[in-house]
Structure 1
Amino acid sequence: MPAPVPGARLHWPDDFGTRFTIFVDTEEEFDWGAPLSSDADGTRHMAALPAVHARFAAAGVPLAYLVDYPIATSPLAIDVLREVMQDGRSAIGTQLHPWVNPPHREEVNGFNSFTGNLPIGLQRAKLTALTDAVERAFGRRPLVYRAGRYGIGPETPALLAELGYRIDSSMRSAYDYSAEGGPDFLAVPNHAFRLGELIELPFTTVFTGRLRRGGAGLHRSLGRFPHGIGIASRLGMLSRVSLTPEDMPLDEAREAIRVAVGEGLRLLNFAFHSPSVEPGHTPYVRTEADLAAFLRWWDEVLALLDRLGVRAASVDQIVAATCGPA
């Protein structure tokens, strides 16, 4: 993915301040170490979601649930999401996992798991099926989208605009999935920018350490040496930190937040996967102890954001600040 064109950077209104979002990749349960399967569509973890959601609601923090097709068609998941949406601020968006999203016309494999690699007609059909399923389930057209596995393609922005979307969050700043057939986001910044008719809100990645100015280029170079990335991180030279509790240590996340705010980033975009709310579904939360650490991570991060004066932003607030009335 190329860097944004000159002039595309979004300039937030003065009264917007510095904000943060939390996007939840709300998806089926599957074995992360096994080949992808169109039959892996369990949603039982959603029964554990209300208790976790309540912790955010008590802190006044809305969540944006980016639901994929198995979630949008699961009676359990629909009931749970309708319940948590009663906080009045959280939102439902979409996330497309093509291997479990009809119509099923492609071979299920790694390359085709990046939606942007599919023929445009099949992309449109899958995205339409997902969008319509979400509207049927929740009574409102979704405004925000994320491609599963960050698999955005050249046609994605126009397809989303056709269906009434306002925001895309499919880009993961400073990550490169090209070795798997996916996009390369090394040139994508953290700041929001205009992408055709949409607003792009990249999933935030912050470089910390004494050599952080070297950024994605230096991080890639270190990866060419055995254990280079790990050694640089342990020595406090360079760490790449995504704003998520999943595989990102709390101390590193807190430092990344301080760096991002200090450098003037106006919107920090956090994320996690919904199956992490129950042990046993993701590599990040295998045990009850892992779940306790996951929840503590959020408690500490939200407390830091509050001390720094960084306020939560809902999807509706972002749309109003960037696109006008929905």
Structure 2
Amino acid sequence: MGERHSGKGYRPPAPASFVDWPESFGTRFALFVDTEEEFDWRAPLSRDGHGTGHIAAMPAAHARFAAHGVPLTWLVDYPVATDPRAIDTLGQLLADGRSAIGTQLHPWVNPPFDEQVSGFNSFAGNLPSALEHAKIAALTDAIVSAFGARPLVYRAGRYGIGPGTLETLARLGYRADSSMRSRYDYAGEGGPDFAAIPNHAFRAGPDGAIVELPLTTVFTGAARGAGAGLYRALGRLPRGRGAAARLGLLARVALTPEDMPLADALEAVRVAVGEGVRLLNFGFHSPSVEPGHTPYVRDAADLAAFWRWWDAVFAELARRGAAPAAFAEILDAACGPAPTSASAAGAGGL
């Protein structure tokens, strides 16, 4: 069920592992926010010199999403989960009763610091399994301490899931993962290859204990039926993918406002709903709610475009009959209500 094969590629999950959404669930969409520290995206990774000041802009952003009836799941990493002002701000927003806190691991800023900071080690799944476990456990404990609730959904920063990640998550009481970015391949950077992972949610990990919620990515264009194979082949040609996209032949479109043009995103929503995807999974990086922190929102004009993107996409989703879903609703529809006590296994060591 989404297991890795030789190298770091993931096989497609077996059809029997796909989540069988109840009819009452309908077609829904979710919004997971990579809630993280500010850093220079152009510079080498560093353990130091990061801020979380943009979290002060999150209440205004939350209000914009709430006006559309859209709850957020904040996947917080260690700098956010240990910053008192960020904790207070997000804690107040959780009072809406529909938004949720989850976990995102940036290993280079998350103790224990027993590895060198490098691009390879930024994919947490490349770390020794005991160290990856210790980092996830430390982050989980920090989130429980900060927000008074155990996080149930995890995302590896840089989508850096590894061969032992899902087992660790199951042991720490997690019930869902959203680390797999459908149709993307990070093997060239030392990370995993998700080119064969579809957009449908599926059960993974030991005994199918983890519900995998891949980030939705679709192929659009006249040749979209050729999908991943053609896209991979175009990558071997100089500027092949860009030419194919400009000609309307094939484009890979992820459901995010970050570097995804609005027209492409609207077409991707139409394609995903038309292909029967029951849960569309959107995302963005939290520093994008304030100009100057990400390459996607550099100034006020970019921020205005960011919000126009969401307004138009939410309108298209409504036209297609796709309603927003809170994380608790997703989990209940996928596998029933969470166990009350014993599932909250301690986040301690191995």
Write the mapping of 1:122-271 to structure 2, written as runs, cut at 5 A.
122-196=131-205, 197-271=209-283
Name the amino acid aligned to 1:190: N
Take 1:291 and 1:223, find their aligned partners in 2: how far apart are those partners? 31
Match of 1:315 in 2: 327
Structure 1 residue 112 displacement after superposition: 0.3
Listed as ranges, the gaps of 5+ residues in structure 1 are none
Aligned partner of residue 321 in structure 1, secondary structure: helix
Backbone CA RMSD of aligned residues: 0.8
Take 1:325 and 1:185, find their aligned partners in 2: how far apart are those partners? 29
Take 2:204 and 2:302, find their aligned partners in 1: how far apart are those partners? 37
Take 2:121 and 2:183, find their aligned partners in 1: how far apart are those partners? 22
Aligned partner of residue 306 in structure 2, secondary structure: helix
Name the amino acid aligned to 2:195: L
Structure 1 residue 57 displacement after superposition: 0.9
Name the amino acid aligned to 2:229: G
Aligned partner of residue 184 in structure 1, secondary structure: coil
The TM-score normalised by the length of structure 2 is 0.92
Aligned partner of residue 7 in structure 1, secondary structure: helix
Match of 2:347 in 1: none
Aligned partner of residue 217 in structure 1, secondary structure: helix
Match of 1:62 in 2: 71
Name the amino acid aligned to 2:254: S
Structure 1 residue 5 displacement after superposition: 2.9
Match of 2:28 in 1: 19
Name the amino acid aligned to 2:290: E
Listed as ranges, the gaps of 5+ residues in structure 2 are 1-9, 339-350
Take 1:169 and 1:232, find their aligned partners in 2: how far apart are those partners? 29
Spell out structure 1 runs of 4+ moving beyond 4 A: none
1:41–1:100 Cα contact (<8 Å) kept: no
Name the amino acid aligned to 1:309: G
The TM-score normalised by the length of structure 1 is 0.99
Aligned partner of residue 75 in structure 2, secondary structure: strand
Mapped pair 1:50 → 2:59: yes
CA shift digits 1:241-284 (9 cap, x unpaired): 00000000000000000011011110000000000000000000
Structure 1 residue 41 displacement after superposition: 2.6
Match of 1:4 in 2: 13
Structure 1 residue 70 displacement after superposition: 0.2
Q: Percent identity?
A: 69
1:166–1:323 Cα contact (<8 Å) kept: no
1:28–1:40 Cα contact (<8 Å) kept: no
Structure 1 residue 220 displacement after superposition: 1.1
Match of 2:120 in 1: 111
Match of 1:90 in 2: 99
CA shift digits 1:213-259 (9 cap, x unpaired): 11111111111111111110011000100000000000000000001
Structure 1 residue 6 displacement after superposition: 4.3
Match of 1:298 in 2: 310
CA shift digits 1:102-152 (9 cap, x unpaired): 000000000000000001110111000000100111110001100000000
Name the amino acid aligned to 1:193: F
Between Structure 1 and Structure 2, how many residues are aligned? 326
Aligned partner of residue 173 in structure 1, secondary structure: coil
Name the amino acid aligned to 1:85: L
CA shift digits 1:39-93 (9 cap, x unpaired): 1431001111110110111211100000000000011111110121121100000
